[in-house]
Amino acid sequence: MIKHLRAMPTLLLFVCILLFILGNLYTAEARVRHYKWVVKYEYKSPDCFKKLVITINGRTPGPTIQAQEGDTVIVEVTNNLGTENLAIHWHGIRQIGTPWSDGTEGVTQCPVLPGDTFKYQFVVDRAGTYLYHAHYGMQRGAGLYGSIQVAPNDPEPFAYDFDRSIILNDWYHQSTYEQATGLSSNPFVWVGEPQSLLINGKGRFNCSTISSSSLSSTGGVCNTSNIDCSPYVQTVIPGKTYRLRIGSLTGLSALSFQIEGHNMTVVEADGHFVEPFVVKNLFIYSGETYSVLVKADQDPSRNYWITSNVVARNRTTPPGLATFNYYPNHPKRSPPTSPPTPPGWDDAEPRVAQSLAIKARRGYINKAPTTSDRVIVFLNTQNTIDGFRLWSVNNVSFSLPHTPYLIALKHNLKNSFHSTSPPDGYDFANYDIFSVANNTNATSTNGIYRLKFNTTVDIILQNANTMTKNNSETHPWHLHGHDFWVLGYGKGKFDKDNDPKKYNLENPIMKNTVAVHPFGWTALRFRANNPGVWAFHCHIEAHFYMGMGVVFEEGIDRVGKLPSSIMGCGRT
């Protein structure tokens, strides 16, 4: 070998050595990250109230998946829930080439049956902050969720000393079975406001508000001395800068997040770099992730509050509280002040202002196509269909079929779902978004939207009045399998002739989850270039359960052979 190398011209020898080194570097960098998880019910007290929760290897939140850009992640999940099916969605991972690993029951796979082990395998193709959570029934609200951190191959455009993840959640004392039963009942029973807000799986409920008779009737125990519900502590070293990867997996609540006395600089959203801006309150909606930089530059002789509070709904849930602990102060030393006052729950202006402030970072702008091939307007409405309260899109409430779409379409299993696609819009001229609508023509369907492969699609999310007078709710919408450009937000009814002229095509941020604000609209644009079948839905757990979602199909003929492990239900 050496003899042959010596005979080569110098330049050719250099090229060969360089290629050898690069090849070995690539092999070293692209790793396989293997996880084995056992999912089961256990009694836990995340907010001091003892109840059955879903754990992964005994934990909730579950283990953080840590990987490098380009790595392959393999998660072997064993379902030990006893009598309950399972599916796990890798939220923000686009599943390019592996649509069957998206983890969406009824869309991309049959659920994992009790006692079975299922292998999810996918490539994390882009650095950033992502999430995972249950995607079967309402299981996410029972505690099955966690973080995904994907480190970059290239340097990031900001510096920090330490990297931490924080998941925000709301927490109910009712089981998800009780919640689902109420939502499916006639008369309708709403889930109500959460009892607690959790920060990294920890909160503290006021046990004195529960009567002893209530505790005995529910079989619950509430004990504030339980170590499970000791507040979360983020210890910091004075003078150091921390990257906090903040994700929300609330079942219902929009939140504000605050660190007493400290500014936060927003630098990443859903895996994309943001033109930095400073906030004291970070507004975050279910399914969103943000990275913020926080410098420990305040008085180091004391600790500070970390708080989360409900916004966009009439606030009855106490704040989530944690401690920003300046080393070497004791982590259990309470801050000497009261928790900071939260923003007004009904003040939408600062929330809209933050949405408008999120732009792609200079030097990292992924240009959006200047025009689209198709425009679909989704009107968010509440309806009563056959006596049952449902959420609908364009007066159509979504329901899942027994045979997952990906399998039915790829294997040409005809009549597995409705062949008629839902409408691309609504009665623009006559529908009053500010009034309680009659909506007597509302229907339910499991039909889907068929998108021409590699075309550009615009989605307009249009908010309207609910079935309660003068009420319009905030809805975070999440798209599986894609990122989309956020082109704009507006108040009132979307004007299809004039509002597109105001779109931001210069530096729109790309995201996978975005909010539509009360009585307003949000405009998105994406490329239908990922072969598969993908859900697009409101990330509020009860709203999706009640039908607030759609499904897109694109390039199904380009999908490779489906693994047999995703089959076993419906007509499969």
Same domain, 238 and 348: yes
Helices in 67-211 by DSSP H: which ranges? 176-183
Which residues touch 527 (CB under 8 Å, ≥6 apart)?
369, 454, 455, 456, 457, 482
AA letter at 109: Q
Query: Does residue 7 fall inside a structural domain?
Result: no
Query: Does residue 8 fall inside a structural domain?
Result: no
Looking at the structure of the chain, the number of domains it has is: 3
Same domain, 300 and 324: yes
Query: Does residue 330 fall inside a structural domain?
Result: yes
Query: Does residue 16 fall inside a structural domain?
Result: no
Same domain, 75 and 203: no
**Residue numbers of the domain that contains 228:** 157-362
Count other Cβ atoms within 10 Å, centred on residue 436. 15
Residues listed for the chain: 572
**Structure-block tokens of residue 36:** 């084995």
Query: Does residue 524 fall inside a structural domain?
Result: yes
Same domain, 140 and 161: no
Strand runs (DSSP E) across 249-387, as ranges? 254-259, 264-269, 272-279, 281-284, 289-295, 304-311, 320-326, 374-385
Tell me how far apart the terminal alpha carbons of the chain are, to the nearest angstrom: 55
Count other Cβ atoms within 10 Å, centred on residue 354. 18
Query: Does residue 4 fall inside a structural domain?
Result: no
CA atoms within 13 A on the CB side of 542: 26
For residue range 146-176, list pLDDT tens digits in order.
Answer: 999 999 999 999 999 999 999 999 999 999 9
Same domain, 121 and 54: yes
Write down which residue in 140, 155, 170 finishes a domain.
155
For residue range 474-526, list pLDDT tens digits in order.
Answer: 999 999 999 999 999 999 999 999 999 999 999 999 999 999 999 999 999 99
Alpha-carbon distance of 260 to 281, in angstroms, equals 10
Q: What does the DSSP assignment read for 536-569?
A: EEE-SHHHHHTT-EEEEEE-GGG--PPPGGG--S
Same domain, 549 and 433: yes
CA distances from 272 to 65, 114, 503, 511 (A): 19, 37, 19, 7
435, burial (CB in 10 Å: exposed 0-12, middle 13-18, buried 19+): exposed
45-68 residues labelled b (16+ CB within 10 A) or e (exposed): bbbbbbbbbbbbeeebbbeebebb
Alpha-carbon distance of 324 to 246, in angstroms, equals 15
Angle at 507 between CA 359 and CA 67, to 5 degrees: 65
Torsion of CA 345, 170, 88, 183, to 10 degrees: -80
- CATH code, domain with 281: 2.60.40.420
Write down which residue in 327, 362, 397 finishes a domain.
362
Alpha-carbon distance of 559 to 572, in angstroms, equals 17
Tell me what pLDDT residue 11 has.
42
Give the phi and the psi of residue 172 in degrees, each rounded to 5.
-110, 150
291-306 residues labelled b (16+ CB within 10 A) or e (exposed): bbbbbbebeeebbbbb
Same domain, 253 and 331: yes
Task: Using DSSP, state whether 200 is helix, strand or coil.
Answer: coil
Rg (alpha carbons) of the chain, rounded to whole number: 24
**489 touches 496 (CB < 8 A):** no
Tell me what pLDDT residue 437 has.
86
Tell me what pLDDT residue 30 has.
75
Write down which residue in 362, 383, 398 finishes a domain.
362
Query: Does residue 181 fall inside a structural domain?
Result: yes
How many whole angstroms from its chain centre is CA 484? Answer: 14
Which residues touch 26 (CB under 8 Å, ≥6 apart)?
none
Same domain, 388 and 287: no
Query: Does residue 109 fall inside a structural domain?
Result: yes
Same domain, 116 and 171: no
Q: Which residues of the chain have pLDDT under 70?
A: 1-29, 212-220
Alpha-carbon distance of 488 to 514, in angstroms, equals 11
Same domain, 321 and 435: no
Stretch (H or E) spanning 67: strand 65-68
Tell me what pLDDT residue 225 has.
86
Same domain, 404 and 548: yes
Tell me what pLDDT residue 10 has.
46
Same domain, 544 and 441: yes
Alpha-carbon distance of 36 to 467, in angstroms, equals 45
